[in-house]
Amino acid sequence: MAKYRKLGRTSDQRKALIRNQVTALIQHGRIVTTEAKAKEIRKAAEHLIALAVKERDNFEEVTVTAKVARKDKDGKRVKEVVDGKKVTVYDEVEKKIKKDLPSRLHARRQMLKVLYPVKAVPAEAAGKKKNTKQVDLTDKLFTELAPKYADRNGGYTRIVKIGQRKGDGALEVLLELV
């Protein structure tokens, strides 16, 4: 008996499909797909969320001194002339950052093996490459989803049957985070 569904694809296509669908599920919270795909995607997604829940509090806060460029009221860097050259003015700022402990770092890297990088485009900047931002889905798993599911022992996703698809009659389902 097979331990997974082959979904009529070669192994590299199947892995890419599952990674893509899991990334979409984590990013949006719900996706519509076929029942067989949903059952495979559920396995991968539940594994990632379980990792995040297990390692959610495994970090230490560290205070770091960082150099930050001084900015004027328009948001442009302040420059001053030193020895005939324009040089940016920097201020030293104390910042608190979360430093992952080794097991959380390992969990983060395991998640990055599955999740694709995602860019978010704000609605007002649609079609402009300049305003896109990289979305950190691993951070979303640790900060949003892990606290939400901290008291749950599995069962982080739900499959709701929608009906048959018009084209090929495949059973479509809604896969969503509970």
pTM confidence score = 0.84
Which among 37, 26, 40, 31 has a CA at the least distance from the CA of 117?
26
Pairing of strands 30-34, 79-82: unpaired
CATH topology of domain 11-58+101-177: 50s Ribosomal Protein L17; Chain: A, (3.90.1030)
Tens digits of residue pLDDT in 126-145: 667 777 889 999 999 999 99
**Any idea where the domains of the chain sit in the sequence?**
11-58+101-177, 59-100
Rounded distance, CA 17 to CA 20, Å? 5
Q: What is the tens place of the pLDDT at every residue in 3-37? A: 899 999 999 999 999 999 999 999 999 999 999 99
